[in-house]
C-alpha cells in the first residue's frame, strides 16, 4: 500500500456522462498530481495542486476539472465523457512541489471505461 488512496478502482459509464474520481494523498503530503495513462499516449500529466492551490496544468481537457480541498483530498471531475476518455487515471502525492530526484508516490489508479 503506497499510502495514496484512490476511489473508485473501476468505473463504467456511458458517453456524455459525468464522473468524479477521488484521491486521498499520503499522510503529510501537501501536493497532489493527476495523470492519465492510455495505451497510445502513456502517462500524461493533467494537473497539480499544492495545499489547495492549482500550481501546474498539463494536457487537461476543458471538460475536465479538479480541485483540492482543505483536508487535502482531491477530486478530478470528468464531464461530457467520450469513448476516448477511457483510461487509467492516477493520483500521486508528494510533500512539496519541488522534490528534486525524489519523485512522488502514486496510488493504484481508477480504471475508467466509457461505453
Backbone angles phi, psi at 85, to 5 degrees: -85, -10
To the nearest whole angstrom, how small is the minimum distance from the Cβ of residue 20 to other proteins? 19
CB 109 within 8 A of CB 7: no
112 binds other proteins, rule: CB under 8 A: no
Place of cell 499544492: 50
| Of positions 81, 107, 112, 114, contacts other proteins by CB under 8 A | 107
Give the containing element (helix H, strand E) for 80: none
Cα distance between the two ends of the chain:
30
Reduced to 3 states (helix: H, G, I; strand: E, B; else coil), residue 7 is strand
27 binds other proteins, rule: CB under 8 A: no
| Of positions 82, 102, 113, 115, contacts other proteins by CB under 8 A | 102
113 binds other proteins, rule: CB under 8 A: no
CA atoms within 13 A on the CB side of 91: 32
| Of positions 48, 68, 74, 93, contacts other proteins by CB under 8 A | 48
92 binds other proteins, rule: CB under 8 A: yes
Q: What are the residues binding other proteins (CB under 8 A)?
A: 2, 4, 31, 33, 41-43, 45, 48, 50, 55-56, 58, 90, 92, 94, 97-109
Amino acid at each position: 500500500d503506497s499510502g495514496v488512496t484512490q476511489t473508485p478502482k473501476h468505473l463504467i459509464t456511458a458517453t456524455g456522462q459525468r464522473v468524479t474520481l477521488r484521491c486521498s494523498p499520503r499522510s503529510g503530503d501537501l501536493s497532489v498530481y493527476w495523470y492519465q495513462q492510455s495505451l497510445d499516449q502513456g502517462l500524461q500529466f493533467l494537473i497539480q495542486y499544492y495545499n489547495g492551490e492549482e500550481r501546474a496544468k498539463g494536457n487537461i481537457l476543458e471538460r475536465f476539472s479538479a480541485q483540492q480541498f482543505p483536508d487535502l483530498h482531491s477530486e478530478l471531475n470528468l464531464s461530457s465523457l467520450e469513448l476516448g476518455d477511457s483510461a487509467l487515471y492516477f493520483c500521486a502525492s508528494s510533500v512539496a512541489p519541488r522534490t528534486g530526484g525524489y519523485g512522488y508516490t502514486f496510488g493504484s489508479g481508477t480504471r475508467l471505461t466509457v461505453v
